[in-house]
């Protein structure tokens, strides 16, 4: 599939109809794509950063990944899966900072971070724009990105895909990509796994011989040409590119009625 129409491999128009009412929105496709990052993850801590990844992690837990551990965003493990922005009603454990770091160091967490810049090998920047000695813009800072990427599975969420984010070379390396981990040697690659990148245009992975970024699926309504134009490096594009899978009727009901009834997802990803 070339990604120039909205027909999936079964011949059904993507988003053409669901039991939950209106067809799935772009934001809801993004939620499902983020949720898939935790498929088959097992009993690990899901650390989503951003509204859409947070909805995705909760959707995964309520459907195909019931063993996922979720927090209240601070220091409590929660047993229920409340709507976004609503306090948990059932607490199942305490997760202070030192215990959180123990999960990180032993690989028992899958974090989905943001990226102000990301390059073809998955190096991520959230620290500054321009020369780090005199940056033109100060961002979050390096924070825990290096430890995250070298110790536990890491994915990325980019709500506005553009050539300013998907760059040839990041201005500063915070999250460690495949090329830099390989150059650092066995100790760096032992637990290094940058799994995938989800943006408002599609899903990307690094399943190529040199671990360069590859277009894995397009969200319905997006073309390969649009993705290439919005990417600042030569992206690996297979001959046939499928569309991101459509949310099921159950998933749409959970997203719209239980996880995000206020529609916060549409503020992060607009149609």
pLDDT band at 102; cut points 50, 70, 90: confident
The pLDDT value given to residue 13? 37
The pLDDT value given to residue 106? 86
The pLDDT value given to residue 6? 38
* Distances, alpha carbon 87 to alpha carbons 73, 79, 81, 100, 215, in Å: 10, 12, 10, 20, 37
Residue 5 has pLDDT above 60, yes or no: no
Residue 133 has pLDDT above 80, yes or no: yes
DSSP string, the chain: --SSSSB-TTSPBTT--BTTBSPPPHHHHHHHHHHHTTTT--S-EEEE-SHHHHHHHHHHHHTT-TT-BEE-SSSEEESS-PPTTS--S-EEEE--HHHHHHHHHTT-EEEEEE-SEE-TT--EE-SEES-TTS-SEE-S-STTHHHHHHHS-EEEEESS--TTTB-SS-SS--B--HHHHHHH-HHHHSS--EEEEEESSEEEE--STT---EEEEE-TT--HHHHHHT-SS--B--SS-PBPPPPPHHHHHIIIIII-TT-THHHHS--
Query: How is residue 248 written in tokens?
Result: 């099921």
The pLDDT value given to residue 104? 86
pLDDT in tens, 38-72: 999 999 999 999 999 999 999 999 999 999 999 98
The pLDDT value given to residue 215? 98
Residue 76: exposure state from Cβ atoms within 10 A (0-12, 13-18, ≥19): middle
pLDDT in tens, 223-268: 999 999 999 999 999 999 999 999 999 999 999 999 999 999 999 9
Tell me how far apart the alpha carbons of residues 36 and 31 are, in angstroms, rounded to a whole number: 9
């Amino acid at each position: 599939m070339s990604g120039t129409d909205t027909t999936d491999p079964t011949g059904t128009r993507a988003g053409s109809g669901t039991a939950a009412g209106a067809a799935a929105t772009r934001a809801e496709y993004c939620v499902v794509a983020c949720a898939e990052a935790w498929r088959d993850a097992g009993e690990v801590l899901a650390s989503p950063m951003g509204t859409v990844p947070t909805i995705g992690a909760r959707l995964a837990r309520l459907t195909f990944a019931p063993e996922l551990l979720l927090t209240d965003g601070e220091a409590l493990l929660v047993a229920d899966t409340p709507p976004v922005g609503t306090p948990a009603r059932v607490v199942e454990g305490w997760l202070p900072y030192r215990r959180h770091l123990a999960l990180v160091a032993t690989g028992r967490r899958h974090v989905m971070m943001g990226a102000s810049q990301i390059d073809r090998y998955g190096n991520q920047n959230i620290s500054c724009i321009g020369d780090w000695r005199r940056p033109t813009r100060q961002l979050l800072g390096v924070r825990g990105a290096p430890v995250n990427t070298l110790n536990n599975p890491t994915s990325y969420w980019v709500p506005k895909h553009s050539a300013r984010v998907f760059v040839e070379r990041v201005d500063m390396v915070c999250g460690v990509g495949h090329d830099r981990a390989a150059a650092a040697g066995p100790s760096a690659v032992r637990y290094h796994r940058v799994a995938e990148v989800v943006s408002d245009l599609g899903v990307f992975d690094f399943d190529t011989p040199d671990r360069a970024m590859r277009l894995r699926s397009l969200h319905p309504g997006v073309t390969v040409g649009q993705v290439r134009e919005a990417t600042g490096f030569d992206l690996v594009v297979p001959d046939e590119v499928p569309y991101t899978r459509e949310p099921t009727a159950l998933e749409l009901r959970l997203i719209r009625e239980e996880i995000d009834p206020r529609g916060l997802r549409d503020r992060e990803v607009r149609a």
